[in-house]
Each structure stands twice: as C-alpha cells, then as structure tokens.
Structure 1
C-alpha cells in the first residue's frame, strides 16, 4: 500500500534534507558539551513518532482526499519537530526564521490540517459502518428469503410480525394476520408436475402482491400457504381485503405449459390483535391457522 504514496514520501524526504541544509548554511554545529541531550530525546522522540504515524497511515490507506489531509498534517508536524531538533544540534543566530520560526508555523498548521483530516476520516468510518450494517441486514434478510418466490419465509414473517405488533400497540392500532391456502394444490402437482406447481406459486405470489396495499407484508409461510400482515387493519377491513384476494385468485386464469387454462381457489383464515392485545406473534399465527383449517374443512367433500 505504501508504494501508492511514493511521491508523498519523496516530497517529505526532500523537505527534511532542505531543512538540514538550510540549518547548516546559517548556523554551526554546537560543541558536544553544550548540547542538551534531554531536549534532543524529547524533541527527537516527538519527531520519530510523527514519522511512524505518517508511515503507518500511508501503509494502511489508499490514495484519496482523506489520506492527503492526514499525511499532510503529519508531514507538517514531522518537519516542524525535526527543525526544532536541528535547533538543539546546530547553533542558529537569534532573529532568523529558521530558529523557531519553522516549528512555530508548521506545528500548529499541521495540527489544524490533521484535525480536519481526522474529522473527514471519522465521517468516512461512520459511512463504512452504515454500509456494513446494511450489508449485514441484507444478508440476514436474504437468508430469511424464500428461494422459490423471492418472498420472506416463515422466520422472516415471525420477525416482522413481532416488530409490527409492537409498532401498532404503541400507536394504538389493530393488526391482522391473514393466511391464504391454495385449494387442491396437490392435484395440480400430480397432473402437471412439480415444476408447473412451482411456477404457479410464483405467479400467485405476484398476483397477491398486486392486490395489496403498500403497507402490507406478504410472505410464503409454507408450501402453498401465503401469509399477509395487515398493519392498522381491524377485522372488518381485513375481511374485505380477504374477500378481494379470494376473488382475484378465483379469476386468475393460469396458463400451463401444456396450453391448458386452470383456475384455483383459496381458503383463508385470519386473526386480529387489538391495540392493547398481548398476543405474541406465534399466538396470532396459531389462531389464524385454526381458522384456516376450519375454512378448509367446510370445503372438504362430505362422505355419503
């Protein structure tokens, strides 16, 4: 990664060498006895740390505006502290800009640039975190997706039903779960094959979606059974929506690959949770399932 920043490193090396040459040009090396080694250790340590931070930054980041700000800020700090280190080794006359002027200028300027770079780096990290969160959420939702229809599966239904129940209870609104079960679907599979049955389920899913509101949620619960979550919907309105879906399925003329037209019907079962209901998602599903089974029993042929 650091090879991407070779021109930055070259510029910093040139600035460092220029600082040494200018210091030697206007001053003389101090006698060994007059050098304050404690200052050299302190200022040299700061300069060394700035150089290490600069190398670590360039070695871990791609090129870009944020990298440029971080590296420029650290480079200014490094050059400023390095010049301060030169003052401890080379005697420069008072009044010259090189004696403390470079450090007094580059150090605060470097800190300002570095602070701006850290601010944009922080925003960059927040963006990456949000993108990672979205990818993880999409991955979780993808794992709870029915591979045949592309709808949410039973696990996704339960998860979303619990969330919508909580929301409706907070807003003092009813919520209804509607189950739709295709009648005599096994006969379609036996007559036309499972591939034809799979295509029928996909097209039925699209048909039901076209007849739902934007706030409603459709999932494939199991086999030929679909589940519809109706937020802010009481039993009366849910019954009307169920009737509309039933008629839509009954009027759907499914064309098989053999050229035949097949009509189907559905049985429905629904359960409504009031705004103050403490029913769990599983309890709502069980109540809707019992009513669905009762509706299918009414359609079952009676023995003579």
Structure 2
C-alpha cells in the first residue's frame, strides 16, 4: 500500500461546481456493475497491461501500482444519471506517468480502457484528454476503494461524466481509431461526456417523427423490447397497450403521460422526465429509475419494489 505521506497534492474543482441539470448528493453513489470478475480480486496475479501503439509495452503488478500511488487528487465527480458529489479526495497517480513510460507512437490518437468485468466493460478517451485529465486511483478519502467503486484500481477522469472512468481497470491500449465504450454502445451515451458545455449526456434522439408516431399508436411493444429509445418526446402519451415491461426509454420526455396501471416492470427510465405523469397503480418493480424526475406525478399504489431509484 502507498505510504500515507503523499508527496504531491492536486486540486481539480470549479468554484461554480455543479453542472447544468445535476443535483448534489451527500455520498459517492454506486452505479453500474457491483463487482469484477474473480481475477480482478486475485491480488497475487493481478496485472495491468499497457500496449497498443506504443514503443514500450509493459505490465504492472498491484504492488507496482501501489508504489506509484503517492499523489492526492481533490475533485468533484459527476454521474450522467444526474448526481454530483463535491470534494472527494483520491489517492493515485496521473495516467500520464504510464503513457510516458510506454512512449506512444505518433499514430496513437485514443486510449482504450478495459476492465476485469463479466460484461467486458470498457471506455475510451482521446489521447490528449487522457494524458491531461485521467488518473489511476486506489483510495478514496483515505480508505481503499470499495469493491463496488473499483477496488483495487480504477481510472478517474473528473472532467467527464463518470461513465468515462473505469472500475477494475485491467488493460490500457493506445489506438489509432476510437473504440466506443460499453455505455456508448448500449445506451448511446454521448462520446464527449462533458458535463458543462451543452450537457453532453446522450447522442441525439434515436427515432424520427414518423417512428415516434407509430410508437405512440402501437397496440403491442414487442418489437421495441430489444431497442434502446433515447431522448424522444412522449409528453402526454396515453399508450394503448399496458404491457410495457422491459422497455428502455432513456432521457425521454414523458411529462404528463397517462400511465395508470401500466406494467413497466424491469423497464429502464433513467434520466427521463415523468413530471405530472399519472403512474397510479403502475408496476415499476425492478425498473431502473436513476435520475428520473417524478415531481408532481401521481404515484398512488405504484409498485416500486426492487426498483433502482
């Protein structure tokens, strides 16, 4: 473990610290996967691989990572689901140390990060952002990272939404072309992920107006169950079919929607606007509702058992 007498301290915080659309929270919340693969917790055999378009690829053991972790970073973190946490102190070191050791080739334009993850979780950043902004960290507020937060080692890029930071990092590879990460592929999260200019949470809406009209009039939602529907306007909607289980409406406008008695069990409504919606008697068991806005909604007898709020 790194010694408690760290030799350098960095502060990355804005005076106006809360980005547009974010809400302050009083804790470091857990999002995404809760734990790595078994290999990710095998400290004796744990390795970080650094390769790709570099002149000097190498691997590091966990002890070598701890030996490098002699820096402190005080920063704020921002999750795409709408929460921000102010003033958390991480222990680790800048990624630039590893990039300098690897000596990237001129063709390297992106840094890809892979995790010890059952679903092969990954993310990527332009090399200039990764070099300037990304850290590898082992501790938070003086304590080893909790497993659900990335123990033993995670990346942290405070200038971007937290989905650009990777828990249980295992592999860093330099690439000529970008390789979109897990959340960009599965949920169409915005590749830039900048919380400040333009609130870059998602790419543009995923359906054209005629397709949205067909959705509004659908008598069955079976054809939509394997789709991720992003950033469309369904305000005031009264669906004809009440079986909406498992549907994914992320960052959608459902304000004033008439959803009484609807089966939304297992659905994903993250960051959606459900203000003034009628959800009385609706089934939201096991639904992912993180970041959803229910202000003014009728939640009489709504079933939230097992939901992620």
Q: Does TM, scored on the shorter chain, surpass 0.5?
A: no
Would you tell me which structure has more helix in proportion to its own residues? Answer: 1
Would you tell me which structure has more strand in proportion to its own residues? Answer: 2
TM-score under structure 2 normalisation?
0.19
